[in-house]
Chains A and B, each alone.
Chain A
Amino acid sequence: MPTHTFKLNGKQISVEAEDNVRLLWVLRDLLGVTGPKYGCALEVCKSCTSHINGKAFNPCSVQVKDIEPADEVTTIEGLPATVGKDLHPMQEAWLKYDVAQCGYCQPGQIMAAVAKVKQARAEGRDITDADLDELRNICRCGTYSRIREAVKAGAEDMGA
C-alpha cells in the first residue's frame, strides 16, 4: 500500500493508504483526527472544512495522493497552534457568543471563518456581509446569526 507523507497540524506524518482514498477518511479513520466531520462527502455541507496551506478546503473531496509532502494540512485540532495560543481568536469568539448548539458543524464553521477572514485581509480589506454570505457551511441547528456575529468579532481579534 502506498505511503503518503504531509504536514498535519505542525507535524510531518506518514500514513499508508490507497491513493484514491479521500483525505477525510485518512484523517478520521486511519489517523484518528476526528475534528473534521462527515456530513455529505460531496463538498456540500462543508462540515469537514480544514486548511491546506492556510486556505479552506474540504478533505472529503481530495484524494490523499494529491497531497504533497510539503503541504500543510491544519484541522480544528491544530488551529490554536497556528497562533501559538491555547485557543485561536476565532474559537474565543465562538465561546464568547456561545455560538454552538449540537456542535457538529462548528469545527468546520470555525475553519471556514478563519480562512475567509484571512482571504479578506490578503485582499487588504475587512470582512463584509458579502463575505459572510459566501460561507456555505451548513448548520442544521440554525446558529447562523451567532456565527456571523462571532466571525466579525473573531476577525477583529485576529489583527491585521
Chain B
Amino acid sequence: MAEHRRSLDRPSDRPADRRGLLGRRKVLGYLIAAPTLAVGVSWLTNESDPRAADAAVPSVPQPADVFDLGDLQNLAAAPTSGLITVQLKSDGTAYFAVPRAEVGQGITTAFAMMVAEELDLPMNKVEIALADARPELLMNQLTGGSNSMRSMYVPVRTAAAIARQRLVETAATHWGVEAGQVTTRKGVLSGPSGRTATYGSLAELAATAKTITVSAELKSPSEFSVLGKPRNRVDAHDIVTGRKQFAMDLNVPGAKPTMVARPPTINGTLRSINNLAALRAMPGITDVVGITHGVAIRGETFGQCIDAIQKVDATWGPGTVDGESDATVLAKLRAAQLPMAAPALPLLTKTIDAEFVFAFASNSPLEPDCAIADVRPDSAEIWSCLKVPIVAQEDIAKQLGLPIDAVKVHVIQGGGSFGRHLFHDVAAEAAEISQKMGKPVKLSWSRTDNFRQGRTHPMSTSRVRVNYLAGNVLTYEQRHTSVETDFGHGLGEMITAFAADIPVGGNLSFAETIFALTQSSPYNFGVTTQLLNEIPLKFNTGSMRNIYSPNVVCAEELVVDQLAAKMGQDPVRFRRNFLKDQRLLAVLNKAAEVGEWGKAMPKGTAQGVGVHSEYRAAVATLVEIDCRPETVNRPVEGEGVTGPRVTKAVIVVDPGFCINPRGLEAQMFGGLQDAIALALTSSLHIKTASRWKAAGTTTSTPGSGTRRWTCRW
C-alpha cells in the first residue's frame, strides 16, 4: 500500500460504487491559512439512491423509501460542512475536532479510520476531539438519526486526502522532483534516491499564507487498507485503565458537587423551601437555592448533597401531568387512534385486527445526566455530553440573558446516550443553578431522577388491520398513537427550514414528518398506510435508540407472524414471499441459514425471526428463546428479575459499506440487548398519580435517609 495510483476513469467494480457514494471521485476543498497545514472541505451532496420497488403486487413506495431522515439531515448539513477542518500538527499528528458527540457508538474510532486511510497515517497519529458548539455550523452539529457516518464520510476523507496531496506536493517541490515520484506510507513521505521526510517535518512548509481552493482524489474502496477492516476502539486503553474522562471526572476549578431535590410529580415546581437555614447548616453543604424544578444543593461531596436532599422540606407546585397514570394515558391513546380506511372488501376477505400497547421506557444511559456550569455576570461556560450543542448554547444564552457568543459550550464524551443527550435539560439546569449561586457547579442528577424526571420513550399503541384473501394481502393499515415525542432539539428546525425539499406534503407536524421519513413497510401488502397520531401530554419524552421503529416495526412483525400462521405458512417462507426489499430478503435468508431456522426445538423453547430496514440498512434477527418453567422460574441472586431467557441470537445486517465491522458488531449486540430487555421486562410505569414506578423493582435507601427510591434495571 505504499503508493496510490489514482485514476478518475477506472470504472468501479463494487455495487456500492455504482450508487455514487463510495467511488473514486475528485473532491474539492480549501487549504486554509494557518501556521501548519490545515484543510477545510466543502460539502459534497450524496447522490440519492432511491430504491426501486420491484413488487409483483406492488405497494406504492412510502416517502421513507425514496427520501428518509438521513437525507433530510444531509440536506440540512449541506451548506455548512465546508467548515469542517483537519489540521496537521508539527508533531505529525492529524487533528480533527468532529462536530458530533461520542457516546459509545464508536464514531471517534470511525473518524480516526477515515483520516488514517486518506492521509496514510497510523491510527495512533490521528487525534479526534469533540468540537465545542459552533453556531456557524447551523444544523450540522446534531448527533442523531444514525447519520454521523452518512453525513461525514465524504467530507472527512476529503479533508484528509487534500492534506496528503498537499504534503506530497510540498515534498516534491522541496526535493525538486515530480509529485508522481513521491509516495506516502505511515506518516512518512518517500522520494527518489531514498529521500524521506515525516509529515511533521513538512507541516509548516505545507501551510498556506492564504486560503485557496484545491482538489484531490479519494481512494477507491479497492485501495482501502483501514476502512472496512475491523478496528478496536481508539479510547479502549483509556477506558480499561479508568482514565477516560466523563463530565463528572473533569476538574473545573470551584465546580463543587451539586444535586437537586425534586418535586414528587413530573415537572412539578418549587413554591417554597421551608427549612433553608437548616439545609445550609448541614455538614459539607456550601449553597442551597431554589430553582424552577427543585432545590439545588451544592456541597463538598455528592454524598452530602444526597444527605441534604433527604432533609429538604419544601412546598411544591403541580407538574405537567399530575393525575396521569398508565391507565389514563392508555385511555387517551385509544381515544385518539386514527380510524382505519380500508375500502369495502368482498365477504370472503379475512381480517386480522391487532392492537399492541408499548409502555414508557427510560432512555437513560448508565452515566446519570450531568453537566458542569460556570456562569459569570457576562459569560458562561458549560461542559456536558450534548448531541445538539448549538441548540443548547442558544437556549442557555437566552435563559441566562447573555449573547450567544458569551456562552461557551464544550461537548464531553458521554457514558451512553440512547437518545437522552439530544436534549440539554441537565446543562440548562446547571446553568440556572450556577447563575443563582454565583459559583461554578458540577451537577449530577440522581439515578432515580434520571428515570423519574428524565426523558422517556413515550407510551404508545399500534393498531394494525390486515385484509387478506386467497394467499394475498390486500391491505395493511397501521395506526400508531403515541404520547407526544419532543423534537425540540434541532430536528424540528431542520424540517421547518427545508420543508419545501421534503417529499411529504401537507401541514404535517414535526412528529408526523419524522414518522413519514422513517417508517415504511418492506412488504408487498397491497394498499399500505402507516399513520401517526400524538396526544399532547407533556411528559418529558425523546427518542430511545431510534424513534418510532422499535414499536411500529415490532407490531408489524408480530402481525406478519400472525398472517403467516393464518395462511398456514412458515414465518420465514411467508416473509420470503412478501418482502419487496431484496436486501432484506438476502439478510433474512442468511439468518435462516446460519440460525438453522426450522430445526427441532425442545418443548417450551422456540425460534423467532424479525426483519427491519431503515436508514439504508437491512437487518434480520433470529433468536431462540427458552420459556420452560425451570428457566422462567430460575433462582437469581439478589434482586434480579427472572423470566424467559433468550439463549441464542443470529443477527445479519447489510449496512452498505461498513466502515468498522467491529464497531458495527458492538452496535448490533447492544441493540439486541436492548431489544431483549424491552421485549421482556424493561419499562416505566405510573401506577398512581404522575410518579414513575418501576416494575419488577429494587428498593433500597441511599445513605441513611428516609426517602425511599425505587429503581429498576
Contacts and interface: CB of A to CB of B under 8 A. Distances in A.
A binds B: yes
Interface of A: 17-18, 20-22, 24-26, 28-30, 32, 34-45, 47, 75-77, 80, 87, 91, 94-95, 98-107, 110, 134, 136, 138-146
Residue with the greatest number of chain A CB neighbours at <10 A, chosen from B301, B366, B640: B366
B662 A102 contact: no
A22 B703 CA distance: 8
Contacts of B233: 98, 100-101
Nearest to B662: A98
B302 interface: yes
A102 B414 contact: yes
B226 to A, nearest CB: 16
Contacts, number: 175
B30 to A, nearest CB: 34
Main secondary structure of the interface of A (DSSP, over half): loop
A75 B415 contact: no
8 contacts: A25-B302, A25-B303, A42-B711, A101-B104, A102-B413, A104-B367, A106-B240, A136-B638
B304 interface: yes
Interface stretch (B88-96, B425-433, B667-675): B667-675
Nearest to A134: B637
B102 to A, nearest CB: 8
B236 A44 contact: no
Given A103-B235, A106-B239, 19 more contacts: A18-B304, A25-B301, A25-B304, A29-B300, A38-B302, A44-B639, A45-B447, A95-B236, A98-B233, A100-B240, A101-B104, A102-B104, A102-B366, A102-B416, A103-B239, A103-B415, A104-B367, A139-B366, A142-B669
Residue with the greatest number of chain B CB neighbours at <10 A, chosen from A36, A42, A143: A42
B447 A29 contact: no
B367 A102 contact: yes
Interface size range on B against A: 35 or more
A11 B138 CA distance: 50
B670 A100 contact: no
A34 B415 CA distance: 14
A104 B236 contact: no
Contact of A100 (B236, B700, B701, B711): B236
B640 A17 contact: no
Contacts of B240: 76, 87, 91, 94-95, 99-100, 106-107, 110
A75 B243 CA distance: 12
Nearest to A93: B240
Q: Which 4 A-B pairs have the closest CB atoms?
A: A35-B242, A102-B104, A142-B673, A104-B415
A101 B670 contact: yes
Contacts of A22: 303, 703
Contact of A98 (B284, B666, B709): B666
Contact of A37 (B257, B304, B415): B415
Contacts of A41: 302-303, 306, 446-447, 702-703
B711 A40 contact: yes
A21 B303 contact: yes
Contact of B242 (A21, A77, A99): A77
A62 B368 CA distance: 21
A42 B698 contact: yes
B303 to A, nearest CB: 4
